[in-house]
Every structure is written in structure tokens, then in C-alpha cells.
Amino acid sequence: PSTAERKDERERRENKAKAICQVCPVQVDCLEFAMEIREPYGIWGGLTETERRQVAARR
């Protein structure tokens, strides 16, 4: 059996994590930290690794 995560499963998991971030009192600090250390994995401050790379590219 495949251990790869389907796209819809990943989106559902990411959306759940992002919902937690939306009400987290340290969301901004978390995102700033992830950007500072260039965290390559996971949801930090409400953004995925791809979204954080896009933000970094615009800076």
C-alpha cells in the first residue's frame, strides 16, 4: 500500500492546522520565527511551507 498522502487529505490536514493558528495568540510571533529560521516543514503562523517561501520571495 502507498504511504503517500493524497492531495485532498493534505489540504484537509493543513486547513485544520490553519484554523488552530487563526485563534492562536502567538500566531504572528510564530510566523516571524518560522520565517527567521527558514523552517522548511509544517504549518507555522498559519502558513504552509510553500506559502512561507512565497512571502519570503516577495520581501
Average pLDDT over residues 12-19: 98
Average pLDDT over residues 22-33: 98
> Where along the chain do its domains lie?
25-59
Q: Specify the DSSP class assigned to residue 38.
A: T
Question: Quick one: 52 exposed, middle or buried, by C-beta within 10 A (0-12, 13-18, 19+)?
Answer: buried
Rg (CA), the chain: 13
Query: Who has greater pLDDT, 5 or 3?
Result: 5
pTM (two decimals) = 0.85
